[in-house]
Chain A
Amino acid sequence: MSKASYLRRYWQLYALLALPIAYFVIFRYGPMYGVQIAFKDFNLFQGIGGSAWIGFDAFREVFGMREFYTTLRNTFMLNFLDLIVSFPAPIILAIMLYEIRSVWFKKISQTLLYIPHFISWVIIGGIVYQLFGNQSGMVNEVLVGLGLDPVPFLTEKNPWLITYLFTGVWQSAGWGTILYLAALTGVNRELFEAAEVDGATRLKKIRYITLPSIKPTIITLLILNLGKMVSIGFDRPYVIGNTTVREYSDVLSTFVYRIGLESGQYTQATVIGLFQAVVGLVFILGSNYISKKTTGDGII
């Protein structure tokens, strides 16, 4: 079929595609016009076009800030820990859900697991403070009641990290199972039956059938996650973090918020944003390359 007749035949589908393309053009490519702020002494009142070019001065200034390195380190640290703790969680959960035989129980558990995903971080933050505060937190009140010492869940480095990580797992693990469960529905049931005939145990079936069949999904998500290593959501560190653990909870996104939106240093904030984008690109290409070399699967 020629290209023109292809278009003619499936024009409805192409029309549907127009919306996502418009989205990317407007919200992803359009704003790139603003990247030049990083190379300009941005004046709010003269606009982007009217501000003077300053070359790489702002980059030099940002790379000279000590806070920049602290927040960069924290971003990597929190993302890396998240990758270790939060990345496997939905996989394990998905396999467990897949193994459940009782349909109604499976449905109820799935719904319950999804719920936290729909709670905003601000509210989760409130719940965390109510539960884990030193003096008034419910968990510590129970601990003290049992004659134990209170645990400073929110005010000391290591306990705080654990609180941070597990709040993340609680919030996102259930929702994260969706993609894996979708991949698992495509698995041919006959494989399991054949394995059963061969006398495979449940664990063996998981190991040799379930896991291999979701491997491409796992790799795709892993690459995407690696690409995000240098970018971090704003809500979670901002809401769960507090002054007492500022040295560990201050990340690039909260830093950008502070210097860009709060103190109006747009140039510096754009520099950091651009830096994040470039490093993110390097990470995603790098992990894709490694993945292709080692497993043969990649996303690009």
Chain B
Amino acid sequence: MTVNTNQGFWKKATGITLTAVMGVSLLAGCSSDSKENAANGGKATEGSSAKRVTLKVEVFDRGNSPAPQTITNNFLSKLVQKNFGDPNNIDVQYVPIQRSEEVTKLNVLMASDSDVPDIVFTYDSSVFYRYAGQGGLTDVGKLLDEYGPNLKKFIGDETLAFGQLDGKQFSIPGKRAITGRYSSYIRQDWLDKLSLPVPKTTDELYTTLKAFKEKDPGKLGSKNIPMGMALAPAQFETLIYSFIKPISGDLTYSQRYELPLHEGFKDAMQFMNKLYNEGLISKDFGLDKDKTQLAKDIQNGNTGYWSEDVDAQFYKDGTMDNLYKNVPGSKVTPVDVYTNAKVDNKYIKSRYASNGMYIMIPKSSKRAVEAIKYLDWMSTGNNLIDIYNGVEGENYDMVDGIPVVKENVSQEFADRLFNGGDMAIISNGKNLGDQATNEKAWVMGFPKNNQEMLKQSIAIANTDTVGPIVFGKPIEGEAQYGTTLTDKLDVIIVKTTMAKPDQFEAVYEQEMKDFMSLGGTKLKEELEQAVKELPAK
């Protein structure tokens, strides 16, 4: 008898196991096909009278949530729930996506339409065009008219145009408050020690760097780095832009990997090669893609001259504060030195377009209306200011219409705002009015001791800028070759810079040939055609 029960159990167990296994594997295989929105369905059915729904919103996770807050449950998420969610009978739920893996994670989420948030975003235009082209996004044109009048006004028609494809509004581009990007800096105390003037042109910079190298004003020996360099845009773009001829007036191709298609790119690489071979730039720049080594060298006082994102160094306990602490007597001056011989020796540098990230509502989302309402709410009243600055009277005071951040607030208050910039998706930077007001508001958010230098940096970042051409349609070659060429650009820069001077020509020729054959040629033809088709101004 016992034997029989055992056998029966065994048969049953096998049956159950196999069924479960097959079921699971089928589910795993088909999950991308299922059109059911489980999460929403569950919520919508509870309580028939009050139809409370869940709105899922993507949020960048930078791993910097101060305890006890988390990226999905924090001061700002509660603020949103209280002021937007509860009055509208909506549960706002945040879906964290790790910042550094944003696009990869988003691809996975978009493929599984049961988990995808109702609001997603990306900075990468080719990702937006791909989703739109494959028919995965909601056309929000009508919804905006109906539910988002404030939002529409806030963003403005000019910026909204960035989110259109074939006349359909497939995304809502965030609005960028400040378009200046980069500034450069020099160690004033090194100049003073050598009785040198502040350089004003590329040639003068070269002479200064030479002096930094030979006279070693910081007494650093082998640690001396006359010019800080990294394999990152803020460092090489500033230099390259000062050698290239923009495509038309103050506009040029928008993507970084399109720089090699400009006249003058070779001269930029030649200059880099000279700097490298004469030992004027950091030897390990090719390994430093995330600028950690660069920042370390600057903070330790080893670097004489460098370029950086305009705001990057001025945060509390940031690079600048650390340098002053580590090297007593050090002094830094923001400078504008790269002159462009092809554009009347102007200080040509790149600027952002007026849009920020592309905010998108997946086609599978059943909460498109609520999503627009959420974004519209964000653009009304004081909401955006509060998201960026916290509670009035506790975190900031309004002075002449500009929120001024209070110094020395308690840690608890300061911790409220760790994700302010990431929550305010419709606004990249503090949008209060015109650019000058925005800049003023931005500066006010920094520690007092750095505000003056940041102001000078912004002024430099806004001088002689060149912006991206807006074609109003996707460039096929960008979607197709973008990733490959981005990678190739890094290789070109590293290879040509590190080549021996007498081999520069050969290396440059070889690398450019590669670049063109990897898609550069097709991209170039398409871009040139697109430029021709642009409506005359």
Could you list which residues of chain A lie within 8 angstroms of chain B, going by C-beta atoms? 4, 7-8, 11, 14-15, 18, 21-22, 25-26, 29-31, 33-34, 43-50, 66-67, 129, 133-136, 141, 144, 154-155, 242-244, 246-247, 258-259, 261-264
Who on chain B is nearest to A11 by CB? B10
A/B interface sample: 24 pairs, CB < 8 A: A7-B7, A8-B7, A11-B9, A18-B13, A18-B17, A30-B25, A30-B28, A33-B29, A43-B134, A44-B110, A44-B131, A47-B32, A47-B33, A48-B29, A133-B293, A136-B293, A136-B297, A141-B222, A154-B287, A155-B287, A243-B287, A244-B494, A246-B490, A261-B104
Interface pair A263/B28, CB less than 8 Å apart = no
Main SS of chain B's interface residues? helix
Smallest distance from the beta carbon of A147 to chain B beta carbons, Å?
Answer: 12
Determine whether B103 belongs to the interface, using a CB cutoff of 8 Å to chain A. yes
Task: Enumerate chain B residues within 8 angstroms of A21, measured Cβ to Cβ.
Answer: 21
B112 to chain A, nearest CB (A): 9
**Alpha-carbon distance A243/B136, docked complex (angstroms):** 34
Distance, CA A30 to CA B26, complexed state (A): 7
Contact B518 A22 (CB under 8 A): no
Taking A18-B13, A263-B126 as known contacts, 17 extra A-B pairs with beta carbons closer than 8 A to each other, sorted by chain A number, are A7-B10, A22-B20, A31-B29, A34-B29, A44-B131, A44-B136, A133-B284, A134-B283, A136-B297, A144-B222, A154-B287, A242-B289, A243-B494, A244-B494, A246-B487, A246-B491, A258-B487
A15 CB to nearest chain B CB (Å): 7
Are A8's CB and B110's CB within 8 A? no
Min CB–CB distance B237 → chain A (angstroms): 16
Q: Shortest distance in angstroms between B333's beta carbon and chain A's nearest beta carbon? A: 25
- Encode contact with A along B110-137: 1 for CB under 8 Å, 0 otherwise: 1101000000000000110011001110
CB atoms of B364 and A45 under 8 A apart: yes
Q: Considering the chains assembled together, what is the distance between the CA atoms of A45 and B131 in angstroms?
A: 8
B409 located at the interface, meaning its Cβ lies under 8 Å from any Cβ of chain A in the complex: no
Q: Closest Cβ of chain A: how far from B52's Cβ, in Å? A: 28
- The residues of B that contact A263 with a CB separation of less than 8 Å are 126, 479, 482-483
A residues in contact with B10, CB < 8 Å:
7-8, 11, 14-15
Residues of B within 8 A of A262 (CB): 103-104, 483
Contact A26 B21 (CB under 8 A): yes
Decide if B487 touches A244 in the complex (CB within 8 Å): no
Per-residue CB contact flags for chain B residues 130-167 toward chain A (1 = under 8 Å, else 0) read: 11001110000000000000000000000000000000
The contact string, 1 if C-beta is below 8 Å from chain A, for chain B 95-107, is 0000000011001
CB pair B6–A243 under 8 Å, yes or no, is no
Pick the contact of B29: A30, A44, A129, A136 (CB < 8 A). Answer: A30
Q: Which chain A residue shows the least CB distance to B364?
A: A45
Residue B484 at the chain A interface, CB threshold 8 Å = yes
Q: Is the CB of A45 within 8 A of B113?
A: yes
Nearest CB in chain A to that of B231: its residue: A243
Q: How far, in Å, is B451 (CB) from chain A's closest CB? A: 32
Q: Decide: A45 near B498, CB < 8 A? Known: A135-B282, A246-B487, A258-B483.
A: no
Question: Are A243 and B491 neighbours in the complex by a CB distance under 8 Å?
Answer: yes
A11-B25 in contact given A45-B110, A154-B287, A243-B491 (Cβ < 8 Å): no
> Closest 4 A-B residue pairs measured CB to CB?
A30-B25, A45-B136, A33-B29, A263-B483
CA distance A11 to B2 in the complex (A): 13
A-B CB pair tally, cutoff 8 Å: 129
B104 touches A49 (CB 8 A): no
Cα-based distance from A11 to B479 in the complex (angstroms):
56
**Given known A-B contacts A30-B29, A144-B222, A155-B287, A66 and B484 have beta carbons under 8 A apart:** no
Residues on B with beta carbons closer than 8 Å to the beta carbon of A129:
287
Is the C-beta of B530 less than 8 angstroms from some C-beta in chain A? Answer: no
Hey, which chain A residues are within 8 Å of B223, CB to CB?
135
Closest to B107 in A: A264
Which of B282-303 touch A at CB < 8 Å?
282-284, 286-287, 289, 293, 296-297
Contacting residues, chain A, for B289 (C-beta < 8 A): 242-243
Say if the beta carbon of B517 comes within 8 Å of chain A.
yes
**A262–B126 Cα gap in the complex (Å)?**
11
A66/B111 in contact, CB under 8 A: no
Closest to B20 in A: A22
Q: Which residues of B contact A33 (CB under 8 A)?
A: 25, 29
Task: Kindly identify which residue among A11, A29, A47, A133 contacts B6, using a CB–CB cutoff of 8 Å.
Answer: A11
In the bound complex, CA of A258 to CA of B482 (Å): 11
Q: Report whether A49 and B287 are in contact in the complex, using a CB–CB cutoff of 8 Å.
A: no
The size class of the interface chain B forms with chain A is 35 or more
Nearest chain A CB to B47 CB, angstrom units: 32
A296: min CB distance to chain B, Å: 38
Q: Which residue of A lies closest to B103 (CB)?
A: A262
Residues of A within 8 A of B24 (CB): 26, 30
A264 — which chain B residues lie within 8 A by C-beta?
103, 107, 127, 130
Closest Cβ of chain B: how far from A196's Cβ, in Å? 53
**How many Å lie between the Cα of A34 and that of B127 in the bound state?**
23
Whether the Cβ atoms of A155 and B286 lie closer than 8 Å is yes
In whole angstroms, what is the CA distance A262 to B483 when docked?
A: 8
Whether the Cβ atoms of A50 and B487 lie closer than 8 Å is no
State whether B7 touches A135 (Cβ < 8 A). Answer: no
Q: Across the interface, which residues of A come within 8 angstroms of B13, CB to CB?
A: 15, 18
Whether a CB of chain A sits under 8 angstroms from the CB of B3 is yes
Chain A residue at minimal CB-CB distance from B135: A45
CA distance A242 to B494 in the complex (A): 10
> Shortest beta-carbon distance, A72 to chain B, in Å?
16
Inter-chain CA distance A46–B17, complex, in Å, is 31
Q: How far is the CB of A1 from chain B (nearest CB, A)?
A: 14
Q: Are the CB atoms of A66 and B104 closer together than 8 Å?
A: no
CB of B363 within 8 Å of the partner chain? yes
Q: Of residues 1 to 50 in B, which have CB atoms within 8 Å of A's CB atoms? A: 3, 6-7, 9-10, 13-14, 17, 20-22, 24-25, 28-30, 32-33
Q: Which of B107, B127, B479 contacts A261 (CB 8 A)?
A: B107
- Counting chain B CB atoms within 10 Å of each CB, the highest count among A7, A133, A244, A247 belongs to A244
Q: Which residue of B lies closest to A41 (CB)?
A: B134
Shortest Cβ distance from residue A265 to the other chain B in the assembled complex, whole angstroms: 9
Which single member of B17, B33, B482, B490 contacts A243 (CB below 8 Å)? B490
In contact, B33 and A50 (Cβ under 8 angstroms): yes
The interface residues of chain B lying within 8 Å CB-to-CB of A134 are 283-284
Residue contact A25 to B364, C-beta cutoff 8 Å = no
| Neighbouring A residues of B131 by C-beta, 8 Å | 44-45
Q: Is the CB of B130 within 8 A of A48?
A: no
Q: How far is the CB of B109 from chain A (nearest CB, A)?
A: 10
Task: Point out which of A26, A45, A67 has the most chain B C-beta atoms below 10 A from its C-beta.
Answer: A45
How far apart are B484's CB and chain A's nearest CB, in angstroms?
7
Name the CB-closest residue of A to B106.
A264
Q: How far is the CA of A263 from the CA of B20 in the complex (A)?
A: 35
CB pair B284 A135 closer than 8 Å? yes
Closest chain-B Cβ to A132's Cβ sits at a distance in Å of 10
- State whether A67 touches B135 (Cβ < 8 A): no
- Complex CA distance for A48 and B103, rounded to whole angstroms: 20
B17 & A22 in contact (Cβ 8 Å cutoff): yes
Interface hits, B200-250 → A, CB 8 Å? 222-223, 225, 231
Q: Measured between alpha carbons, how far is A29 from B21 in the docked complex, in Å? A: 11
